[in-house]
A and B are shown apart, each in its own frame.
Chain A
């Protein structure tokens, strides 16, 4: 992708924890340097309905326990220092999947939270490079289809789901019944946990 600021949203399928429960988790992750990237702070926005939920702020990336459009999920957001164009999709998905798997395994959340791998969103946080339009979707579809087909399964179906004022957002879905990889398998396919 030419755009640098890619976002991936992984949806939660089960969640019996409040947003508040993520706050101590992220504070602790900063304390123990859990992620291989610079993380700075935690900002709670759980008072805002259908909002960014709990923000885990970093230098290169942010992670949100996001409730946008009323659907809870983990939103990964690349802000700066993106890798080379050919690596961007893989890198973003890999970071999102890694953090999702770590959250699933987090003792205080264990059993309360699961993420789906048969559906996700790709968003591009850069209206200049990639406005939300059918033309932009067509221009990028082949690259996206090839990438997500490769990591999720060739049956993936892509559709543009954003209106023109919103960020370019593509829904990536496996058809009902199609086998979907576990988070761990997906992470392996993407090259394992991020290293930097």
Chain B
């Protein structure tokens, strides 16, 4: 039995990559500092968001019980983890899963974490991440360590950063792809992760890869950066590249991406993305969050000017071997099947055939199928996750992908094994069919856990799915292929714009009371990478939405011409006819007659919007300089702790590190290409802040700057405890001086240096 004093930190020390382990220690220190009131709440909020630690409904310490708002008396008292965010309130942990790929071991660890720190549920998001809910902030460092030990980081899962890089879940096994985008998505993920040029954004930045143009899977059309694989033949050789799109996005003002380059050679992918990030960091809106996504910048500048600025920036970049190093081995992300491919056994029963039709895609590789595991609302349990890990080992080797429609895909299943796999999936409650059909509904968290939720998108989706499944064979064939997606508010996290029938939560006043509604958006396209957005028709009371769906679907089935898609149908009949259906459903009985309309699906409380809080979607704008100075501050604190433990060498190293970090935070602003090398930092600091006297103190002149030069010359070492002590004191003074300098220069520092 392990001894009770043992910690995850000790237990996993040899299994975590060093850099990740250090980052998590740093985050834990920041938690300590915040509890001591030594970090300001805004800064702490952005720090935690950048680690994937997100707020959740009721974390302002208030909850409406249907009659009145009640205080949630958490024991932490006044301590907060961000503006209006109570420390003890449970939160959401977003776990970044690059292009949705999970190994069996990773799945097992996620299962453990869901049990030990959350509620036994693993939730697949619309951007291929895994989320855990009701997590306490003080559990997050250990949670992160356990992830780090299996190669997962939560870094930049939220906040103003490069979010999860997504890709089609069939990449590598797909019949229509130009080539496997996985190694490119992988390279770009780790190249941009924590990259200096991505730390000063005014808003999040989303990247998606797709293997082809026509299918939906990559959704490149509504991302800040979308890369669609393509090839070109020159002098008999096939060259790989990307159709690169920029400035797409959903949200309240959805925007189609624009074509930036019809053929960006593979070798230019990373530097171009880096240059785009720099331009976004420099010129993107910082004050008005509602206008801060890249789509607004591209619109404001115009595509041509934006492109010119990016190419100009591209030329200024300091060359980086990582830009092309990954191209020498594009097989790093390849998956090896466990068994040879085989034909589908004949004589399958009807239930298997129905499942096979919707949930199995033949792979490009003969004899294999990719199996979709349909998840209700993107949820599965810890027990199911462990059982799935076993099935992966039994049938496919080691890869599973989360999908943007909140399911899982198991690839490399030999066709001969499909019936057995189906039976095994059924035994763990995961054998449901209907993937990608009208019953397989996507939903954002909505009022269940989201602070901004207006209506319960999850419970609506659950109810709709239940009712449509109940129709069984009565559900007309033409209706089955439709997509339904729901968002709890206009922020569109459920991607409702790109569904045949999309819903977004709104509220309406009826007879002096609030009534939960959903705005209906029809005719969007999931195909063509989320090719076009639907039209808003009108708001329907939540409780009438299933009725509305059945009526509209019935109308479509009756009036459809030939093989017409819903999208074409809607464009043909126009908004007005659909609106008539909605209008009819809008009138509801008074509260006294039927109170059921006045509460939402899955929530019996009398409906209110009193629980809505301030979202953290935009994070807090904290300039790079301030992040850096706060980091330096924290290093001084750590140096002091090491000194107390008589670790002289460690304390000196940290003190030196703190000075370098503070110097770099300032200097980076003057030289965007500044690297990590101490000699370079010191030299550039000298040029921009010492020689110019900008760093000089009013009374002490060059004194504090000289601490850095001296420490650097000595290599950050101390001979004795006294010397280390002095060094730590000097580091503190240097960091203070850096703060002073920033305060003096203020706007001139944080204002971007124009090209």
Q: Which residues of A contact B (CB under 8 A)?
A: 2-3, 5, 23-24, 27, 30-31, 38, 40-41, 43-45, 47-52, 55, 57, 59, 62, 64, 68-69, 79-81, 125-131, 133, 135-136, 139, 165-167
Contacts and interface: CB of A to CB of B under 8 A. Distances in A.
26 contacts: A27-B65, A30-B70, A31-B65, A31-B70, A38-B73, A38-B74, A40-B72, A41-B58, A43-B134, A43-B448, A43-B449, A44-B602, A45-B121, A48-B381, A48-B429, A50-B384, A51-B120, A51-B121, A55-B119, A57-B134, A64-B119, A69-B383, A79-B136, A129-B4, A133-B1, A139-B1
Interface residues of B, number: 50
B470 interface: no
Interface of B: 1-2, 4, 6-8, 11, 57-58, 63, 65-67, 70, 72-75, 88-90, 108, 111-112, 115-116, 119-121, 133-134, 136, 376-377, 379-381, 383-384, 386, 428-429, 448-449, 459, 462, 602-605
A116 B3 CA distance: 35
Given A23-B604, A50-B381, A62-B119, A30 B11 contact: no
Contacts of B108: 165
A38 B57 CA distance: 16
Contacts of A62: 119, 134
A40 B70 CA distance: 10
A125 B115 contact: yes
Contacts of A80: 136
Contacts of A131: 1-2
A40 B58 contact: yes
Contacts of A24: 604
Contacts of A30: 63, 65, 70
B608 to A, nearest CB: 13
B432 to A, nearest CB: 9
Contacts of A59: 72, 74-75, 88
A136 B63 contact: no
B90 A57 contact: yes
Nearest to B8: A128
A166 B116 CA distance: 11
Contact of A127 (B74, B116, B462): B116
Nearest to A44: B602
B119 A52 contact: yes
Given A23-B603, A43-B119, A79-B136, 20 more contacts: A5-B116, A23-B604, A27-B66, A27-B603, A31-B70, A38-B72, A40-B58, A43-B134, A44-B459, A47-B377, A47-B379, A48-B381, A49-B429, A50-B383, A55-B119, A57-B90, A64-B120, A81-B75, A131-B2, A165-B386
Contacts of B115: 125, 167
A51 B136 contact: no
B208 to A, nearest CB: 28
B8 A52 contact: no
Contacts of A49: 429
Contacts of B4: 2-3, 129
A125 B119 CA distance: 11
A135 B602 CA distance: 44
A195 B201 CA distance: 50
A49 B136 CA distance: 26
A55 B380 CA distance: 15
B212 to A, nearest CB: 33
B116 A27 contact: no
B75 A127 contact: no
Closest 4 CB pairs of A and B: A49-B429, A31-B65, A24-B604, A47-B376
Contact of B604 (A2, A27, A41, A125): A27
Contacts of A69: 383
Contacts of A165: 108, 111-112, 386
A139 to B, nearest CB: 5
B66 A40 contact: no
B121 A48 contact: yes
Contact of B605 (A27, A40, A166): A27
B121 A52 contact: yes
Contacts of A126: 116
A130 B428 CA distance: 27
Nearest to B67: A31
B264 to A, nearest CB: 43
B373 to A, nearest CB: 13
A68 B90 CA distance: 23
Contact of B2 (A38, A51, A128): A128
Contacts of B602: 23, 44
Nearest to A66: B120
Give the interface centre of B1, B11, B121, B381 by most chain A CB atoms within 10 Å: B1
Nearest to B57: A41
Nearest to B601: A44
A28 to B, nearest CB: 8
A109 to B, nearest CB: 14
B121 A136 contact: no
B550 to A, nearest CB: 20
B383 A68 contact: yes
A31 B604 CA distance: 12
A130 B1 CA distance: 7
A30 B604 CA distance: 13
Contacts of A27: 65-66, 603-605
A43 B133 contact: yes
Contacts of A139: 1
A193 to B, nearest CB: 20
A128 B429 CA distance: 29
A41 B7 contact: no
A43 B75 CA distance: 22
A173 B691 CA distance: 80
Nearest to A133: B1
A3 B4 CA distance: 8
Contacts of B8: 128
B116 to A, nearest CB: 6
A48 B376 contact: yes
A195 B744 CA distance: 56
Contacts of A81: 75
A87 to B, nearest CB: 16
A69 B449 CA distance: 26
A4 B235 CA distance: 69
Contacts of A41: 57-58, 63
Contacts of A128: 2, 6-8, 11
A111 to B, nearest CB: 21
